[in-house]
């Protein structure tokens, strides 16, 4: 059974399409990741699915309910953890959860039991009566996840759940996410631009860029589709080096990024000596060479021509999102 069905969904602000004819089907029980840089359309797509924004075109069903015609039913059946903090710092952890449970109509006789369940699920039971303003960033994120679960949603939406957290805290958050998926048996839709984390936690992913879904499958299938090995080369004349490598018949692709040249080849360990010999003949200094299997970063690079890091560093990255927000406010 499908938790979410999206058909040609679009969101436009004046002449800017923040989301452009997206179609997706997400099965129940899936941990589904939407991957892409800032401004790619991830948050806008999520905002339509949780009924915060109305689509310009197309339609979508969440838990069988139409996001435009049945917004109340959609909201009752989902949980949301926003990208920006939304807890009341002047309340305790328990009071935040109790207020949310009351708003969602969780029966008073059952409320305390459910709050105990979700707060222990994210390992905050010892801090139940502590003021939220004393919490660390990671503790607040875990409490927000618990709050999103308190009313037994069928789907939990997580918008950049580990953004701004240190690596160790990010790892612990992902562990809680995987645990609640198994224990609560709910579908989880998350957005992120951390490719390695999505690879570890998601059962399926979609890569979104400029408002369009450009690839969708399991992480394994997306990486396997590239095939071969990735050889990363750093040399003094990257443009010349890239041009010379591209001429080789056994090089599937050569992409320059972040000061490196990534080439995809079969049996990379056998090709490295040939590459070094070629560069020596051409008088090009090779500073470093590394060999690895394709990653989701390579998948993104293959489809967009840029890495996520480059997209984030680009002055135009996020402009679509900012223009969309400006147009919405106007």
Residue 319 has a pLDDT of: 43
CATH 3.40.50.300 in the chain: give the residue spans. 2-222
Cα atoms in the 13 Å half-sphere on the side-chain side of 111: 16
Which residues of the chain are under the pLDDT cut of 70? Answer: 308-330
Q: What percent of the chain has pLDDT over 90?
A: 57
pLDDT tens column, 106-146: 998 999 999 999 998 888 999 999 999 999 988 998 999 99
CATH fit for domain 2-222, picks 3.40.50.300, 3.40.50.150, 3.40.50.10440, 3.20.20.70: 3.40.50.300
pLDDT at 304: 78
**What does pTM read for this prediction?**
0.81
User: What are the C-alpha distances in Å from 135 to residues 74, 126, 132, 148, 150?
Assistant: 31, 12, 5, 18, 20
Instruction: Specify the pLDDT at position 317.
Output: 44
Q: Which two tokens stand for residue 42?
A: 């991830």
* Residue limits of CATH 3.30.70.100 in the chain: 228-293
Check whether domain 228-293 has CATH 3.30.70.100, yes or no: yes
Chain segment 196-253, per-residue pLDDT in tens? 888 999 999 999 988 999 999 999 999 988 888 999 999 877 788 888 998 999 999 8
Contacts of 21 (CB under 8 A, 6+ apart): 8, 9, 10, 57, 58, 212
Residue 309: predicted pLDDT: 60
């Amino acid at each position: 059974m499908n938790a979410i069905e999206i058909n040609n969904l679009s969101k436009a602000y004046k002449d800017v399409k923040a989301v452009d004819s997206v179609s997706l089907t997400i099965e129940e029980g899936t941990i589904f990741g939407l991957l892409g840089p800032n401004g790619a359309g991830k948050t806008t797509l999520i905002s339509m699915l949780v009924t915060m924004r109305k689509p310009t075109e197309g339609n979508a069903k969440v838990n069988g309910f139409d996001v435009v015609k049945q917004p109340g039913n959609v909201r009752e059946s989902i949980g949301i953890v926003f990208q920006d903090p939304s807890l009341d710092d002047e309340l305790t952890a328990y009071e935040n959860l109790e207020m949310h449970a009351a708003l969602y109509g969780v029966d008073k006789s059952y409320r305390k039991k459910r709050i105990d369940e979700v707060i222990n699920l994210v390992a905050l039971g010892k801090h139940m009566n502590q003021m939220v303003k004393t919490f660390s960033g990671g503790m607040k994120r875990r409490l927000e996840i618990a709050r999103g679960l308190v009313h037994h949603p069928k789907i939990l939406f997580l918008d950049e759940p580990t953004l701004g957290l240190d690596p160790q805290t990010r790892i612990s958050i992902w562990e809680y996410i995987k645990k609640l998926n198994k224990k609560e048996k709910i579908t989880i839709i998350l957005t992120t631009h951390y490719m390695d984390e999505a690879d570890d936690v998601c059962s399926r992913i979609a890569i979104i860029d400029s408002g369009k879904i450009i690839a969708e499958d399991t992480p394994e299938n997306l990486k396997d589709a590239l095939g071969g090995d990735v050889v990363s080369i750093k040399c003094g004349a990257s443009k010349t080096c890239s041009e010379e490598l591209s001429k080789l018949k056994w090089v599937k692709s050569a992409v320059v990024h972040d000061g490196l040249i990534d080439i995809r080849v079969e049996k990379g360990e056998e090709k490295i000596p040939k590459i070094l010999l070629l560069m020596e003949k051409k008088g090009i200094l090779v500073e470093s060479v590394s060999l690895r299997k394709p990653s989701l970063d390579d998948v993104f690079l293959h489809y967009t021509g840029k890495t996520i890091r480059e997209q984030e560093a680009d002055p135009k990255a996020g402009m679509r999102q900012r223009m969309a927000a400006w147009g919405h406010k106007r």
